[in-house]
Chain A
Amino acid sequence: MSSQQTLAEALLQHGVTRRGFLKYCAGLASMMALPSSMIPRIAEALENAVRPSVIWLSFQECTGCTESLTRSHSPTLESLIFNVISLDYHHTLQAASGHAAEEARINAMEKFDGQYLLLVDGSIPVKDDGVYSTIAGMTNLEMLKESAKGAAAIISVGTCAAYGGLPKANPNPTGAVSVADIIKDKPIVNVPGCPPIPVVITGVLAHFLTFGRLPDLDRDLRPLSFFGESIHDRCYRRPFYDRGQFAKTFDDEGARKGWCLYELGCKGPTTHNACATTKWNQGTSFPIQSGHPCLGCSEPDFWDAGSFYKAFTAPPINVSEAVAPVIAGGAAAGIALGLANRMKKARAERQREHFTTEDLKE
């Protein structure tokens, strides 16, 4: 595929009809909460978009994010959109290796200076000068700083790149941090999730191609159109929560009837993501639909927010154990104060001048 080929040409080459393409644009517009009048504009922008250069850096990660995006079942439009970007560097997917691979990255950076998109998955270790993860002898920290310089924008794919994720979990042995912790002078979009939903990342790419800028973001730098609402608020099991019908174990009657998984540890109420609406695998299902509580994977520090299998309101530490000595201390202090009061009372009694009727006669 030539790098000058437009998206329309590329899609046509893959046998995508114009009708199918417009349908995709309409779906994208509705998912990003854009008015329908925007559909032609999206279509036009996407059709004429010259394959943007993308450099994809993988740091402390598990490749789950790449798997999620590239293994989305059958050749969907999302995967095609993803395919038509000019992925100039991605060390899991690219054919080149060794010096040739690094050369490809340097070449893309020079050729598309100020224009390329930088996608990052994985967190960046900064402890001990970042020695815990290196590529071609270069630490992740150095590579990120170098590659970010000429980027038009950065998309942090997955919770590790967005918030530090699993590597950052207590006690964080490698000093892992997120992309936004290091790069302060570039527009950054976080597409968190462990892994993130494929359509969300292509949605962000499409938005960038259509409007030439990144979508509106929330405080945690997530696109509002996908992360604006909580899983709980859009969950099809919500009526069971409101009626007080809960599965108590994974195989009880409530679980079989599809009742709310709140008591089994569902983090839906505090988690913002599009799972409940876009779902996974071409809208087939999502964790809650398949009977498992939401882990809260698109929220910062979800690894350290307590057990996955306890209600999110339940204290994440053993409160009773921590408080037991305090109770003993309280009882001791109460007795000590009580005794002090009694002594004061006895002293007052001893010092009291006894006054009788005899005294009045004087």
Chain B
Amino acid sequence: MTTIEMLTWVRGPGLVIAIGIFLAGTLVRLIEMLMLGRRKDLSEPRNAASAKYGWRLVFTRFLPPFAASDVPAIAFLASYVFHIGLFLIVFFYVPHITVFKELIGFGWPSLPAWFIDAVTLATMIAMFVVLWHRISDKVKNYLSGFNDYYSWFITIFPIVTGYFAFHRLVLPYNDMLVIHILSVELLLISLPFTKLMHAFSFIFSRWYTGEAAGRKGIKL
């Protein structure tokens, strides 16, 4: 199989398989979670408009709770950098936009390649800071298992291979591109079944937390 053939496969059938598993898996997990429902709270609500608190928390939890946390500022900063960086890389680099355009029928303006390049470097550094914090922090280390490290790996793998491909490092561009697309497909396939599912579930978990607290009259 030549590199171009491999490239055509990962862009075609490979992508169909990955997106299929990703969408089906995400739907299965979301529906299953939502259908489980919650334990009935028989007590009288202190605040009738508790749903409002649920929605509020969905957004306010984007802000850093510095006061309530003993996480070092650098680890906080790093997780912001890598989340925002990841978002910019995935949605605003022109080769990625052309994929979305083909999949959903419309595109949007891209950011210049040099800017995405800088963001990618910052994102990779930030992800290593986050990993360092997970390993060096005793409590976090104790709580971390395979799911955490695997999730970290499949997130950084596409970023590193994309960066290598862009800069023609380690392997010829076409080969690195095949590995890059495969790494994205690994991420897509794994996402619903790892903690990366938080990309979707965060909305529901925040809403539940906010709503439950609001009902009890706690301001979060």
Contact = CB atoms under 8 A, between A and B. Distances in A.
Contact of B27 (A220, A233, A269, A334): A334
Interface in B65-111: 94-96, 98-99, 101-104, 109-111
B113 interface: yes
Interface stretch (B8-16, B124-132, B204-212): B8-16
B111 A244 contact: yes
Contact of B23 (A263, A299, A315, A326): A326
Contact of A244 (B24, B101, B110, B177): B110
A317 interface: yes
A111 interface: no
Contacts of B198: none
Contacts of B49: none
Contact of B112 (A220, A243, A323): A243
Contacts of B3: 300
B216 interface: no
B112 A330 contact: no
B23 A327 contact: yes
A242 interface: yes
Interface stretch (A26-34, A78-86, A305-313): A305-313
A41 to B, nearest CB: 30
A305 B4 contact: yes
Nearest to A314: B102
Nearest to A342: B35
A138 interface: no
Contacts of A226: none
Interface of B is mostly: helix
B110 A306 contact: no
A302 B95 contact: no
Interface in A329-351: 329-331, 333-335, 337-339, 341-342, 345
Contacts of B64: none
Give the contact-size bracket for chain B: 35 or more
Contact of B173 (A230, A262, A329): A230
A311 to B, nearest CB: 4
Interface in B2-34: 2-5, 7-8, 11-13, 15-16, 19-20, 23-32, 34
Given A244-B111, A334-B30, A301 B2 contact: yes
B61 interface: no
Given A246-B94, A330-B23, A319 B5 contact: no
Contacts, number: 134
Contacts of A296: 4
A280 interface: no
A243 B112 CA distance: 5
A163 interface: yes
A290 interface: no
B12 A316 contact: yes
Contacts of A299: 4
A315 B12 contact: yes
A99 to B, nearest CB: 40
A327 B12 CA distance: 18
A304 interface: yes
Contacts of B15: 315, 319
A337 B32 contact: yes
B174 interface: yes
Contact of A306 (B8, B168, B173): B8
B113 to A, nearest CB: 5
A338 B35 CA distance: 5
B42 interface: no
Interface of A: 163, 220, 230, 233, 241-244, 246, 262-263, 269-270, 296, 299-302, 304-306, 310-311, 313-317, 319-320, 322-323, 326-327, 329-331, 333-335, 337-339, 341-342, 345
Q: Please provide the 3 A-B residue pairs with the shortest distance between their CB atoms, ordered closest to farther.
A: A330-B24, A334-B31, A338-B35
16 contacts: A163-B2, A242-B114, A243-B112, A246-B94, A301-B8, A302-B4, A311-B98, A315-B11, A315-B12, A319-B15, A319-B102, A326-B23, A334-B28, A339-B35, A341-B36, A342-B35
